[in-house]
Structure 1
C-alpha cells in the first residue's frame, strides 16, 4: 500500500516537473521592439582636429642660450621685425671681435704685399696668398655677423602675439617655440583623416564639430583643402576645415570632426543595434520573423533601410542572436 502511494507521489512530481520544464522552454521570449520610422540620415567620416589660425608662425631659437630680454607683448599687435626677445650673445660678440682684429692684420698684410709686388720685391704667389687669407677672414666675419642676428628673435610677419613662453634668465632650448605670431581670424581646424576614409572626403563638404567647451552647440565648418601627400607612419591625411568668422572656438582647442560625405532626407530608419549583417527580426503577432534588408547609410545610431521591412513595422532591438526564426516572443516597446 505504501509502495503504491510512493509511486503515485513520484508520478505527480514527475508530471509537475515536466509541466514546469515545458512551460520554461515553451514560454514566449521577452524582447524589446522599436518602430521603424522616417527621418534624416547622414554618412559620416570621423576624425580629430585642432583649431589654429589660418595665418601664423612659430618663433623658436636656433641657438641654445640664456634669455636676457623679452617683450611683454602677449596679445599685442606687432610689426614684422619687431624684437620679441634677445639671447645672451657675449660669446658670439667676442668671436666677432677676434675676427675683426684678424681682418685688420690681414688687410695690413695684403696692403704690404701689394706695395712689394708693385716694386717687384714680392712674388705674385705671396700677394695671392695674402688676398686669399683676407677673403677667408671677411667671409668668416660676415658669417659671424649673421650668426649674431640669430640671438635676436624677431616677429616674422605682422600680427598678434598669440602666445609667448619662457622667462628672462631661462635657457632657451633649440627648437623650443617661444612665440606664436599670427592673425586671430580667420580660424581653421586641422584634422587627421585615416587613409581608408580619405577617398570619401571632398572640398566643400559640410562638417559638424564637437568641442568639450561648447557641448550642445551646433558647430559647423567646411572642407577647405586636403594635403596631397599623406603620412605613411600614422596612415593619415591632413584636412583643413574653414571655420565661420563667428565661431566660438578658440585657438588651440581640440575638436571631434564629423565630415558629412552623404545625406539622405525622409528615409526609413531603424537602430543600428537591431541589425546584424543584413538581418533583422520583426514581430508579427506573438512571433518573431527574420528578415533580410537592403541597407543604405549605416551610422553609429541608425541604419537607412531601402527594402525588407515597411514603415511602422516593429523591429526587435537589440538583435537577438540566440532567437530562432518563428519563435514566440513577448514584445515590449523600447
Structure 2
C-alpha cells in the first residue's frame, strides 16, 4: 500500500512535466505556399500631370481692372489676337500729358535754335532744350510701350485651353488669366526622385494609372529628361509622350510607373514570406531557415534567383516566433497564386 501511494505521488508530479514536454515537442501547424512562374518588372514610380507639348500662359503685367475680354475659351486664335483689355484710362492720361510737354519742348527747341543762329541765345540754353526733347521723347515711347501691356494677346497660335478672367475683376501681375496652346500632342510631366533618375532613359515604356479611367490600360514613352534637377525637392522633371488616341485630358493627374527592366518567367515568392532575404521552408517535417538570392522586389511578390525551387514548401507569412529546426505540420497549403507580373518600385 505505501508503494502504491509513492507511485501515485510520482505520477502526479511527473504528469505536468510530461505534458509540458509533449506540448513543447508537438509539431507547430504552419501554412505554406510554393513559388510560381511569372513576369517580374522593376519600375520607378512618379506622379504627373497631363499638359500640351506646345502652350503658353498669359498673365497681366500691371494691376488693373479687366474691362473687356474675348468669348473664346475652346476656340482657336491666331498669334497676337486680343484676349482681354485692362482699364488704361490713367495710363492714357499720363501719355497725353507727356505728349503735351513734348510739343511744348519742341516749340521751345525751335525758338532757341532761331535765336542761337542770330546769336540771341546761348549754346548752353540750346543744348538744354535738345536734352529735354530727347528725354520727353523717351518718356512718351516708354509710356506707349507700357500701354501695350494693358492689352492681353495670344502669344502663340492655338486653342484657348482655359480662361480665368472675368470683366470687372482686378488682374494681378503674374496671375495666369489664359492658357493658349495646341491640344495635341500631349505629355505627362512628372518629377522623379534623384536616387531613381539614373535608371530612367529616353524611350523607356511607362504604364499609367488614372482615377478618371480606372479600367483602362494607359501607356506612355519617356520623351525627355531635364538635365538640371531641383536641389530643394531633389527631383528631376521627366516628360512622357502620350499617343494621339489617349483618353487623358489636359490637367488630369496620373500615376506613372516607368518600366526599367522585365524578368520573364521568373520564380516568384510572396513578399509576406520573407524577412530581408530569408524564408522558412519545410524539410522532413521541420522548419529550416534559408537565405535567398533576390532579384526584383515587388510590393506583393519577389523574384528569387536561387535558394528555392518550384516545388519548395515556403512558410507564409514569415513566422516571427518560429525557431530554426522546429517541428511543423502543414496546415492550409497551396500554390502561390496571383497575377503573372509583379511591379517592383524603386
Shorter-chain TM-score bucket reads over 0.9
Q: Which residue of 1 aligns with 2:233?
A: 234
Specify every segment of 5 or more residues in structure 2 that has no aligned partner in the other structure, as ranges.
Answer: 335-346
- Deviations along 1:127-167, one digit per CA (max 9) or x if unpaired, are 11111111111111111111111111111011111111121
| Contact persistence 1:38–1:268 (CA under 8 A) | yes
State how far apart, in whole Å, the 2-side matches of 1:74 and 1:20 are: 84
Q: Which residue of 1 aligns with 2:244?
A: 245
| Alpha-carbon offset, residue 265 of structure 1 | 0.7
State how far apart, in whole Å, the 2-side matches of 1:213 and 1:301 are: 25
State how far apart, in whole Å, the 2-side matches of 1:20 and 1:82 are: 93
**Residues matched between the structures, number:** 331
| Alpha-carbon offset, residue 20 of structure 1 | 4.7
Distance 1:120 1:219, change over 3 A: same
| Alpha-carbon offset, residue 304 of structure 1 | 1.3
Q: Which residue of 2 aligns with 1:92?
A: 91
Q: Which moved more, 1:41-50 or 1:289-298?
A: 289-298
State how far apart, in whole Å, the 2-side matches of 1:148 and 1:32 are: 79
TM-score by length of 1: 0.93
SS in 2 for 1:213: coil
TM-score by length of 2: 0.90
Q: Which residue of 1 aligns with 2:333?
A: 333
Q: Which residue of 1 aligns with 2:289?
A: 290
State how far apart, in whole Å, the 1-side matches of 2:32 and 2:111 are: 105
SS in 2 for 1:212: coil
| Contact persistence 1:44–1:299 (CA under 8 A) | no
Q: Which moved more, 1:238-247 or 1:318-327?
A: 318-327
| Alpha-carbon offset, residue 124 of structure 1 | 1.8
Specify every segment of 5 or more residues in structure 1 that has no aligned partner in the other structure, as ranges.
Answer: none
State how far apart, in whole Å, the 2-side matches of 1:272 and 1:286 are: 23
| Alpha-carbon offset, residue 9 of structure 1 | 7.9
Runs of 4+ in 1 over 6 A off after TM superposition: none
State how far apart, in whole Å, the 2-side matches of 1:301 and 1:46 are: 16
Q: Which moved more, 1:280-289 or 1:133-142?
A: 280-289
- Deviations along 1:146-191, one digit per CA (max 9) or x if unpaired, are 1111111111011111111121111111211111111111000001
Distance 1:9 1:85, change over 3 A: farther
Q: Which residue of 2 aligns with 1:35?
A: 34
State how far apart, in whole Å, the 2-side matches of 1:165 and 1:223 are: 31
CA RMSD in angstroms, aligned pairs only: 2.0
Alignment of 1:290-309 (within 5 A): 290-309=289-308
State how far apart, in whole Å, the 1-side matches of 2:159 and 2:195 are: 38
State how far apart, in whole Å, the 1-side matches of 2:27 and 2:100 are: 103
SS in 1 for 2:66: strand
Alignment of 1:264-275 (within 5 A): 264-275=263-274
SS in 1 for 2:325: coil
Q: Which residue of 1 aligns with 2:52?
A: 53
Q: Which residue of 2 aligns with 1:70?
A: 69
| Alpha-carbon offset, residue 312 of structure 1 | 2.5
Q: Which moved more, 1:55-64 or 1:317-326?
A: 317-326
| Contact persistence 1:69–1:87 (CA under 8 A) | yes
State how far apart, in whole Å, the 2-side matches of 1:29 and 1:322 are: 11
